[in-house]
Copies of this chain bind each other. A is one copy, B any other.
Amino acid sequence: MSDAHHPAERPLANGRTRIDFQTEPSRYRHWKLQIDGDIATLFLDVDEKGALFEGYDLKLNSYDLGVDIELADALERLRFEHPQVRAVVLRSGKPRVFCAGANIRMLAGASHAHKVNFCKFTNETRNGIEDLSEHSGLATICAISGTAAGGGYELALAADYILLVDDGSSSVSLPELPLLAVLPGTGGLTRVADKRKVRRDHADFFCTTEEGVKGKRALEWRLVDEVVPGSKFEETIIARAREFAARSRRGDAKEGIALAPLSRKFTPGGVDYGSLGVEFDRGARIATVTLRGPTAPPPASVEAMTSLGAAFWPLALARELDDAILNIRLNEFDVAAIVFKSSGDPAAVIAYEQFLDAHADHWLVREIRHLWKRVLKRVDLTSRSLVTLIEPGSCFAGTLAELAFASDRSYMFLGRREGDNRPPAAIALTDANFGPYPMPNGLTRLASRFLANPADLGAAKAERGKMLDAAAAQRLGLVTFAPDDIDWDDEVRMFLEERASFSPDGLTGLEANLRFAGPETMESKIFARLSAWQNWIFQRPNAIGEEGALKRYGTGQKPVFDTRRV
């Protein structure tokens, strides 16, 4: 991309024109990943001068998206590069402060769209910490000496265990409301209420108290799990880390694979990855993401897969899709709709699914499935209209078919195109569509789709492994519309034009409500209830107006509020 003016409306630091989600430990400026046997320690030691945008310093271990991109990267490396690690310690590399939360000057100057997407990414990273513990047996201990304020405490809340020094000054706090007139935006309220089950009146006091809570009260109110004198801090960290490591259900793989840098080529019109291409039609406000099927059969063994490492097709494609989605979210705000296409042989995709199923207990296969799960959730939560076009020559089978079920609508080409002698489009289901990829609501996409009649889910399941043509897919309820050659172009064009003509905000709200029927989880609560309220508050004059709290923070002037309760 060549936009000199980044859509976040303030210049990126160092002349960059794009937020990049790719990094690696040798390039970290804010985190240090230290590994000692089966215990990893992540030190947060933010480089004040390493802000993502111009115009603010990252004081007191405060963070912006750039800091969180490194954390997200470190978590991926723990999954793939360090399978021997069984517990993670999160702590500060600075004295007297754990983390001051999201940088306030960054927030005060960021566009609404950047703020909202910044919160979404940090939320996904926090959820990833919990997923790492729940599904990969890698528990996190957060060790707090000094202040853990706002987003700092919210980071701690994602851990399995919070240890706080009892020294009369170390504290946890969520001072967003009293200080800034906004909410803790990274799941704090939900985790206080639903994960730590803090009594609601205690939570009310805690969240309205600038200075937070420390020592014994923090423990009694369930805000932390243990308080220790400063003199015992180090030994307690080690003891707890060893305990969690000893209880870990992580396997006994000794050696990981290297997450090599993605191969990417940016052009003004798109991004090309190895197994995936993105094309932007900026006039029509469309990003077309084309997933390419495998070009070789699956490896002969898990050893061969491990040797392929990051080049193993399912892993490469998942990482590329993740990067592509994040790039659209944070750098291409004007994209109204993401169109998913694919090219390749569905039978070849099924062969990979069978390989993964045959080795489902191998640590690397498990991590690849979990990565796909998280990437697909990222798709679910992307605030753009999503549509999948299933055309002749496509390979929407198994995991790739999930994109059709994650989409707001899907169109499947019925029959052949005149002059095209390829076989008609087919879609194929595999076990991957019936278990390993729950949505944020805890249901698979197909279970969510067929809530009205669970028998439809059974009917779809019975067709696993078959190449389903458009008529069969329609009958099974797997696709929305199935136009033929006469109607296809017009129908798809009209849909995309219509989508681009609607209010982007209205679509965001509509899609957020229709995508997640059925049960709620802590995760869905964070992205639905909490984020929606935060979005609302993030654009109220009481927060962002000239006299609002975010603008006036640090000026010595008190904010002036419109006192009407809504």
Contact = CB atoms under 8 A, between A and B. Distances in A.
A113 interface: yes
B502 A536 contact: no
9 contacts: A113-B565, A181-B503, A197-B451, A197-B452, A199-B477, A204-B480, A208-B510, A509-B533, A512-B529
Given A183-B513, A336-B565, A540 B505 contact: yes
A406 B181 CA distance: 23
Contacts of A517: 193-194, 197, 200
Contacts of A451: 197
Given A181-B503, A509-B534, A512-B529, A201 B564 contact: no
Could you say which interface size class chain A belongs to? 35 or more
B514 A520 contact: no
Contacts of A507: 177, 565
A486 interface: no
Contacts of A518: 194
Nearest to A195: B517
A528 interface: yes
A117 B533 CA distance: 15
Interface string A460-476: 00000000000000000
B198 A452 contact: yes
A142 interface: no
A183 B564 contact: no
Chain copies in complex: 2
Most B CB within 10 A of own CB, among A204, A499, A518: A204
Interface string A271-302: 00000000000000100000000000000000
A266 interface: no
A338 B15 CA distance: 52
B177 A503 contact: yes
A260 interface: no
Contacts of A453: 197
B566 A535 contact: yes
Interface string A391-429: 000000000000000011110000000000000000000
Interface string A183-210: 1000001101110111111111101100
Q: Ordered nearest first, which 9 A-B pairs have the shortest CB separation?
A: A532-B532, A181-B503, A197-B452, A509-B533, A520-B520, A189-B513, A201-B480, A193-B517, A528-B529
Interface stretch (A29-37, A99-107, A555-563): A555-563
Contacts of A529: 512-513, 528-529, 532
A502 B566 contact: no
Most B CB within 10 A of own CB, among A113, A199, A520, A533: A533
Contacts of A222: 452
A442 to B, nearest CB: 12
Contacts of A200: 408, 448-449, 514-515, 517
A503 B190 contact: no
Interface string A525-566: 100111011111101101100000100000000010111111
